Structure formats: C-alpha cells, structure tokens
C-alpha cells in the first residue's frame, strides 16, 4: 500500500479534525499543529483524550486504518477512578454490553502509573477515592468506547492516552508534535 503516514500526539482539548465550523467559539483543531497539505486523520480521538493519531495522504490506507472490519488494534493507557478487581478486568476481557451492543473482547491489565507528560488541565485528585492505571487494547473503535467500557464495570475514566494504533507507536513523541512514519507501521 502506498501513501505517506504522519503520527501526531494529540494534546488534551484538541479536536481530531482540521476545522470547527459548528462551534460559536473556536476550539483548537489539528490545523494549529499540522501543516501538511493532503493529510487526513485515519480515525478519531475524543477531544478529552490524548495521544496517538495516525494521519495519511492515501485514501485506501485511511479507510483500512479506520474501518472496524479490519480489526486494527488500538492500545490505551487509562487512568480510572477506583480499584480494578479481577471481575472488572475479566468483564473487559470478555466484552461488555453497551447500549450499542456487545464489545469485542479486549486485552485489559493493571499497570503501574506510566511516565507521561503533565496534562493541562490536570486530572482532578480526590484524597478519599483511589485511582489506578490500566492498559486496554481494543480491535474496534466505537464512539468513546474505552470510556464507556470502564464506566460499565464501575471504573470511571479520568485520563485516556492512546499509545498504539496497529504497528504505529507513540513512543517519545511529545504532545503537539508529529513525525513521519512508514506506511506499514513504525
């Protein structure tokens, strides 16, 4: 497959599109960070989520990355409110029933707090409520899916950072930065 690929670390609060015509007050978009004509996002990342976005200038590659039928895996680091128990993790691993249907099985594991950049604004901190980190990998991409899955098992999402799409990894790419990558993954 031909085409060029651009990896971008989307900061919190940035829309995963180049324009925001529907809002009466302008919100930050990709156009504030990416000045590469002909590149379009292959999939979306919520405004309140951070991390890896893959952009390409090749329509068929864009479709292959974003179409759920190809089951491209996406990995997220997820800070949740509460303490994940085995039952919650098992439910995520088997798939959960959301309003739009049952999710595919996910990979879900507790992890130590990752070494990430500070978020602006910071995640709220509550002394009386513990939080924990999970690494979750899904192979579909419904609207706000990971957030809805963790909420379904009693673990509201505080912070969501996508670190991998297929073979493309965020690695040490700083928030707001981008780099070119191989079209086959890098």
Domain range annotation of the chain: 5-68+168-181, 73-165
pLDDT of residue 66: 86
46 is catalytic: yes
pLDDT of residue 1: 54
5-68+168-181 CATH choice from 3.30.460.80, 3.30.70.580, 3.30.1330.60, 3.30.70.20: 3.30.70.580
pLDDT of residue 20: 83
pLDDT of residue 170: 96
For the entire predicted model, the pTM comes to 0.94
pLDDT of residue 24: 73
pLDDT of residue 54: 96
- Among residues 137, 138, 141, which one has the least CA distance to residue 42? 141
Successive 10-residue mean pLDDT values, the chain, 186 residues: 89 92 81 93 93 94 85 95 96 96 96 94 82 96 93 97 96 96 80
Q: What is the DSSP string of the chain?
A: ----EEEEEEPTT--SSS--TT-SS----GGGT---TT-EESS---TT-EEEEEEES-HHHHHHHH-GGG---EEEEEEEES---HHHHHHHHH--EETTEEPPP-EEEEEPPP--PPPSSPPP--TTS-EEEEEEEES---TTHHHHHHHHTT--EEEEEEEEETTEE-TTPPTT-EEEE-TT--
22 CB neighbour count, 10 Å cutoff = 6
CATH 3.30.70.1560 fits 73-165, yes or no: yes
Residues 20, 46, 48, 57: which is the catalytic one?
46
pLDDT of residue 63: 87
Task: Tell me if 5-68+168-181 shares its fold with 73-165.
Answer: yes
């Amino acid at each position: 497959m031909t085409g060029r690929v651009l990896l971008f670390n989307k900061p919190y609060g940035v829309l995963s599109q180049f324009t925001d015509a529907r809002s009466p007050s302008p919100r930050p978009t990709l156009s504030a960070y990416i000045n590469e004509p002909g590149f379009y996002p292959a999939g979306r990342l919520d405004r309140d989520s951070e991390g890896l976005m893959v952009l390409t200038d090749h329509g068929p590659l864009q479709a292959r990355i974003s179409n759920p039928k190809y089951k491209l895996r996406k990995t997220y680091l997820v800070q949740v409110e509460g303490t994940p128990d085995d039952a919650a993790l098992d439910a995520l691993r088997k798939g959960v029933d959301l309003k739009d249907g049952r999710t595919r099985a996910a990979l879900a594991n507790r992890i130590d707090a990752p070494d990430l950049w500070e978020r602006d604004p910071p995640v709220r901190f509550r002394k009386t409520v513990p939080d924990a980190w999970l690494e979750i990998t899904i192979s579909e991409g419904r609207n706000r899916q990971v957030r809805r899955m963790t909420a379904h098992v009693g673990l509201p999402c505080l912070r969501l950072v996508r670190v991998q799409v297929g073979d493309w990894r965020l690695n040490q790419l700083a928030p707001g930065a981008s780099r070119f990558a191989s079209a086959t993954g890098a």
